[in-house]
Amino acid sequence: MKITSDIKPISYLKANAAALLDQINNTHRPVVITQNGEPKAVLQDPQSYADMRNAQDGKTRTQAEVFKNLASRLQRR
């Protein structure tokens, strides 16, 4: 997390919503929104959110499965 670009006050969100959404979707880094200096919300791109939820729900693959899939893809080249 980059303090200067990943933590923004709510006033910045109100004035720059489109630019902030572009930043989130391009960097895939969440942005913390503050109100009165306190963190109040986190904005996150949809794919990162889905990945986080899948991990929480145990919908992940083992290291062996990942390497097997990669090896299979490389052999097809």
Per-residue pLDDT, 1: 62
Whether residue 13 contacts residue 21, with contact meaning beta carbons closer than 8 Å, is answered with: no
- The 10s digit of each residue's pLDDT in 8-60 is 999 999 999 999 999 999 999 999 999 999 999 999 999 999 999 988 888 88
Residue 65 has pLDDT above 80, yes or no: yes
* Maximal CA-CA distance, the chain: 55
pTM of the full predicted structure? 0.68
pLDDT of residue 44: 96
**Which residues pair with residue 12 across a beta bridge?**
none
pLDDT at 34: 97
